[in-house]
Structure formats: structure tokens, C-alpha cells
């Protein structure tokens, strides 16, 4: 099986440990175990639990404490509609492999996380792209999406909130996608890695989930972004029980179980989500305001202001391609951004802006980007 190089991950692997200001980081400032213990209210009891834990295999599909906690993020999902995975990246891989066969049609939005179109392509599917455009707020055009559907369409892949743009699909638009899928019997996979981080005043923190809206809807989540626990490497799938059973049969080949300590800490986070989200939404709001003020003042940068998540997509005005831009920026200033070409969108830059509780590092990094941009004046 041949598969394209994963642009985002290859760039991160190459440069994220060699920069001064990592403005490509997409997680809300990661928690320490001590901080999580304090937020949970359990304090030293966390350490006692971990010290007493036998390090054998964990619950195969995830502990009931964790899966029941996840149900609180949805309206219709029950524990039997969930399974725990190795991050959202493992969840997406399992869903696509469980559903897609050679010759199927898969429709994916672009830009989005590359898994959603490169994995189906590697499986022999015919992949069609529904282009997201800035003039439409980087939201899918339902008429265009409908025109791409054919009799062999098996799966429609979307991403809400969108990575890299921060665009946010509301319930009406999500139901519109589901209606198009329903007309041809297709599944809808929604990568919801940044769900829970809606910016004020764009409605409730948690956007509607595809798993709640459509009988063939699949929601994928992670503890990396919204819950600031990327080091746990845990995610999940929420889907109809029939699909969960198919995923678990495939999951036996590459996961067995996730780690018991990881599961314990994830369950702790999900049951402490109100306190955790108060912390994280403040970080997002403070840093998003700094980013927006900078964009408004920087003549060579423009964007569609993100409505959710921790990333934004910057259109830059400079006579170099995005890889050259980012390499020169890193070499001259120590600031790391992600070139748009890594997400198949030349002429753009992805920035992550929620990597610190204090906005000082973001301000300094952005000031250096402006200094670099002045070399093109």
C-alpha cells in the first residue's frame, strides 16, 4: 500500500524541537499531572491511585468510567457507541479502514487534516475534494458537495471546528451535509478534535456533534486539544454500535488496549471538564485577541477570523512560496509556522496561538514575524 507523505507531521517532526517560538503548536497549553490533579479536586489521591495501579493491560475498549464520561459530551451517545483509540489520529484511521473499500467514492473537504483524504486514496478509493474557500468563510458549499456525490459514495469526511482555519459549522449546515449523505446512503466522518473550544460569542462551547445528528454519523475526538493532554495519546470514536463493533474487530490488530495510567488520567479529565474548560477557554480567548489585533495591524497578513479551535490560516503577501517563507522565518527569527503547502494550500500559513497561558510568547513571536515581513516591503 502506497500513501502520501503526511505533510503536517513531517514538518513538525523536522522543526518543532529547533525553534525558539513554536507558533505551529496546536494544543491548548498542556497540563502537568499535578495541575490535572488539582483541577480535579482529588489532589494527592491521584498519586495514591497511580502508585497502587497494576500495570497490566487496560480495558480493551476503554474503561467504563472513561466511556461513560465521554457520553456527557453528546446527546444520544451511550458507552456502547464509543471505543477508545490511540489519539484522534488512530480513530480516523480505524474508521476509514473499517468503511472504505477499493472503488468507493470518498469526498473530503480541503483544507483539513490530511488523513481524511490520503488514507482513503491509499485504500484505492476515488477521492473527490470539496474545496473550502475564504470568501465563504471556509465553510462547505452544500450545492458543490451535492454535485460531487455519486452512486458509489461511501464516506463524506468533514472537520468541525476546521483545522487549519478555525471555521465553525453550525447545526443547520451539519444537518445539510447529513441530508446529502443520507440521500446516497453514505457515512459522514466528522473529525471533531477541536470541539469544545468555540470562541465567544459563537454559541455554546461544544458545537453539535455529527454522531448526534445522523444515523450514519461518526464523531472522532481527542484529549490532545480541548483537554490539553496530548501526552496521553488517547482519542475516541462515537458512532452507531454496528460500526463500533467493526472498528473494534480491526482495532484488535493494532491497539489491544490503551495504557491504564492514560485511561485513568483521561477519565479524571473528562469528569473534571468544567474546571478544565474554564482554564482553557480563557487561554483561547486571551491569545485569540492578541492574534486578531496583530492581523489587523499587519499589512502583509490577512485571514478569516477563526470562530473555534486553536489554529488560524494566514494569507501572506510575499513573493516566496510557503516552505521558503517558513524556513527563512525560522532561520532568521527562531519562529516556527506551518507552511500552507503542508496542507495542500500554497500561499497560506497555519498558526497555533494557544500554547501558553501568558500571551507574552505569542506577542514576541508575532513581533518577529512582522520584522521578517518588513524585509519584503
**Has residue 202 got a pLDDT over 70?**
no
Which pLDDT value is given to residue 204?
76
pLDDT in tens, 327-350: 999 999 999 999 999 999 999 999
Domain boundaries, the chain: 7-32+274-376, 44-272
pLDDT in tens, 238-264: 999 999 999 999 999 989 899 999 999
From residue 157, give the alpha-carbon distance in Å to each of 15, 61, 131: 29, 24, 12
Query: Taking the alpha carbons of 85, 90, 96, 102 in that order, is the dihedral positive or negative?
Result: negative
Given 3-state DSSP classes, what are the helix, strand and coil percentages for the chain, each rounded to the nearest 5?
Answer: 45, 15, 40
CATH of domain 44-272: 3.40.640.10
At the top level of CATH, which class does the domain 7-32+274-376 belong to?
alpha beta
pTM of the model: 0.97
Amino acid at each position: 500500500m502506497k500513501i502520501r507523505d503526511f505533510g503536517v507531521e513531517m514538518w513538525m517532526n523536522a522543526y518543532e524541537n529547533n525553534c525558539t517560538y513554536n507558533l505551529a503548536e496546536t494544543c491548548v497549553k498542556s497540563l502537568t499531572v499535578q495541575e490535572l490533579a488539582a483541577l480535579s479536586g482529588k489532589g494527592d489521591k491521584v498519586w495514591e491511585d497511580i502508585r497502587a495501579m497494576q500495570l497490566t493491560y487496560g480495558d480493551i475498549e476503554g474503561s467504563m468510567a472513561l466511556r461513560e464520561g465521554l457520553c456527557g459530551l453528546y446527546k444520544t451517545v451511550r458507552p456502547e457507541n464509543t471505543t477508545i483509540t490511540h489519539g484522534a489520529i488512530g480513530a480516523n484511521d480505524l474508521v476509514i479502514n473499517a468503511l472504505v473499500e477499493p472503488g468507493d467514492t470518498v469526498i473530503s473537504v480541503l483544507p483539513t487534516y490530511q488523513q481524511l483524504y490520503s488514507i482513503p486514496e491509499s485504500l484505492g478509493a476515488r477521492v473527490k475534494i470539496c474545496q473550502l474557500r475564504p470568501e465563504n468563510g471556509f465553510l462547505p458549499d452544500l450545492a458543490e458537495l451535492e454535485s460531487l456525490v455519486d452512486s458509489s459514495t461511501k464516506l463524506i469526511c468533514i472537520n468541525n471546528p476546521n483545522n487549519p482555519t478555525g471555521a465553525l459549522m453550525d447545526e443547520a449546515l451539519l444537518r445539510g451535509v447529513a441530508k446529502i449523505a443520507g440521500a446516497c446512503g453514505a457515512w459522514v466522518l466528522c473529525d471533531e478534535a477541536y470541539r469544545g473550544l468555540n470562541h465567544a460569542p459563537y454559541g455554546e462551547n461544544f458545537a453539535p456533534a455529527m454522531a448526534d445528528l445522523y444515523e450514519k454519523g461518526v464523531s472522532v475526538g481527542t484529549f490532545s486539544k480541548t483537554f490539553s493532554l496530548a501526552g496521553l495519546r488517547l482519542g475516541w470514536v462515537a458512532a452507531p454500535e454496528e460500526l463500533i463493533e467493526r472498528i473494534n474487530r480491526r482495532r484488535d490488530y493494532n491497539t489491544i488496549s490503551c495504557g491504564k495510567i492514560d485511561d485513568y488520567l483521561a477519565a479524571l479529565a473528562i469528569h473534571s471538564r468544567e474546571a478544565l474548560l474554564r482554564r482553557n477557554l480563557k487561554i483561547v480567548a486571551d491569545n485569540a485577541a492578541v492574534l486578531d489585533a496583530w492581523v489587523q495591524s499587519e499589512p502583509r497578513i490577512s485571514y478569516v477570523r477563526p470562530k473555534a479551535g486553536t489554529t488560524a490560516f494566514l494569507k501572506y503577501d510575499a513573493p516566496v512560496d510557503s516552505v521558503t517563507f517558513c524556513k527563512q522565518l525560522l532561520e532568521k527569527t527562531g519562529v516556527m509556522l506551518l507552511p500552507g503547502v503542508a496542507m495542500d494550500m500554497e500561499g497560506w500559513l497555519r498558526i497555533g496561538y494557544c500554547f501558553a497561558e501568558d500571551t507574552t510568547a505569542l506577542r514576541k513571536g508575532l513581533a518577529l514575524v512582522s520584522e521578517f515581513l518588513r524585509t519584503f516591503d
